[in-house]
Structure 1
Amino acid sequence: MGYWTYYLLMMALWYLVDHPAVLAGVVVIFLLRDFIPDPYVLMRTAGRVRALRSQIAANPANTTARRDLARVYLERSRPKRALTLLDEARKRHPDDAELLFLTGLAQARLRRHEEALSSLIDAVGIDPRTGFGEPYRAAGDVLMKLERYADAEDAYEHYVDTNSSAIDGWYKLSRARAKQGKADDAARALAELRDTWRTLPAYLRRKQWTWRVRGMFAG
């Protein structure tokens, strides 16, 4: 159900109390969806969080548990907590590419954009295969927010080169090109999006359908 749980609960409350102010809650949840944990994720990861916390309490030097708990916190939209764990883990392993990648994600979500770029660049510098191209996607997102569209285009190109089945990569590449006035190149990225979509198996389509819909209205 994900975020629809929030929306359905608010709509049910509106039906019960018949007050228009409740509808404002739906709008607020939509606008703050990047900062509000998905209720399904909270329930699904509750046991995992308890187990990882216990492992860290039993062995404070357990870097793997800190990394895994940081991943869960990122999934729960808790980047500040994640970054604390990652900073502690990197004291023992400062050149670990995966820890740097996750650090960059947390910094980006905290809007510490320049720091995020540095961490992400360091991650792929150590191991270009880290995260199967995800560091390039994250760097592209940061660069778009900084309005560095040419650099964002380069990052997204690396992303789709590494993960050509990523529909979001082709969509974001089209937007970066469009921001630079490259209409023809943007259209080619959208064409790649459509061609890629046709080749995807059903399970990948279920994960990426929202980007396909966005691509239909882009251009």
Structure 2
Amino acid sequence: MGYWTYYLLMMALWYLVDQPLLLVGIVVIFLLRDRIPDPVVLMRTAGRIRTLRTQIAANPANVTARRDLARVYLERSRPKRALVLLEEARKRHPDDPELLFLTGLAQARTRAYEPALQSLIDAVGIDPRTGFGEPYRAAGDVLMKLERYADAEDAFEHYVETNSSAIDGWYKLARARSKQGKEDTAKQALTELRDTWRTLPSYLRRKQWTWRLRSLFVG
């Protein structure tokens, strides 16, 4: 169900109390969905958090538990908490590419864009296979925020090279090109998006349908 839980609850309340302003709440939740934890994630990770906290308390030197707990906090849209754990873990392993990648994600989500970009660059500099292309997507998102569209285009190109079935990658590549006035190559990216969409199995379509919808409004 994910975020649909929020939407359905708001719609049920609207039906029960006949208050149109509740529809505004649905719009707000949609716009802030990147900052509001998915209710399914909250339930799924509750026990995991307790276990990892216990492991860290028993062994403060447990870098793996800190990393895994940081991942959970990122899933829960709690990047500041994740960043504290990652900084502690990196005191022991400052050049671990996965820790650098996660640090970059957390920094980006706290709007520390320049440090985030450096962390992501360092991660793939140490091991280009880190995150299977995800650092390039995250770097592209940061570069779009910084309005460095040519660099963002390069990052998204790297991302789709590794994840050619990622609809979000083609969408973001099209946007980066469009921002530079490269309408022809932006259309090429959208063509790749549509062609890729047609080949995706249904379970992947369910995960990526929002990006397909967004692509209809690019250009």
Normalising by the smaller structure, the TM-score range is over 0.9
- Greater Cα offset, 94-103 or 32-41: 32-41
CA distance in 1, matches of 2:35, 2:4: 15
- The match for 2:102 is 102
TM-score, normalised relative to structure 2: 0.95
- The match for 1:24 is 24
- Greater Cα offset, 134-143 or 50-59: 50-59
- The match for 2:169 is 169
CA distance in 2, matches of 1:25, 1:198: 34
CA distance in 1, matches of 2:161, 2:112: 27
Cα shift readout 1:5-32 (whole Å, capped 9, x = no counterpart): 1121122222222333333322332232
Task: Using the TM superposition, give the Cα deviation of residue 144 of structure 1 relative to its aligned residue in structure 2, in angstroms.
Answer: 0.5
CA distance in 1, matches of 2:68, 2:92: 15
Q: Which runs of 5+ in 1 are unaligned?
A: none
Cα shift readout 1:170-196 (whole Å, capped 9, x = no counterpart): 110010000000010001111111222
Q: 1:22 to 1:123 in 2, by over 3 A?
A: same
CA distance in 1, matches of 2:12, 2:202: 33
Q: Which amino acid aligns with 1:185?
A: T
Task: Using the TM superposition, give the Cα deviation of residue 217 of structure 1 relative to its aligned residue in structure 2, in angstroms.
Answer: 3.3
After superposition, the CA RMSD in angstroms is 1.3
- Greater Cα offset, 204-213 or 98-107: 204-213
CA distance in 2, matches of 1:13, 1:201: 35
- Greater Cα offset, 2-11 or 178-187: 2-11
- Greater Cα offset, 187-196 or 128-137: 187-196
Q: 1:209 to 1:158 in 2, by over 3 A?
A: same
- The match for 1:206 is 206
Q: 1:202 to 1:12 in 2, by over 3 A?
A: closer
Question: Aligned runs of 1:8-157 on 2, under 5 Å?
Answer: 8-157=8-157
Cα shift readout 1:7-66 (whole Å, capped 9, x = no counterpart): 211222222223333333223322322211111110111111111111111111110011
Identity over the aligned pairs, expressed in percent? 85
Q: 1:24 to 1:213 in 2, by over 3 A?
A: closer
Q: Which amino acid aligns with 2:95?
A: D
TM-score, normalised relative to structure 1: 0.95
Q: Secondary structure at the match of 1:69?
A: helix
CA distance in 2, matches of 1:165, 1:72: 25
Q: 1:146 to 1:206 in 2, by over 3 A?
A: same
Q: Secondary structure at the match of 1:217?
A: coil
Between Structure 1 and Structure 2, how many residues are aligned?
219
CA distance in 2, matches of 1:141, 1:27: 23
Q: Which amino acid aligns with 1:63?
A: V
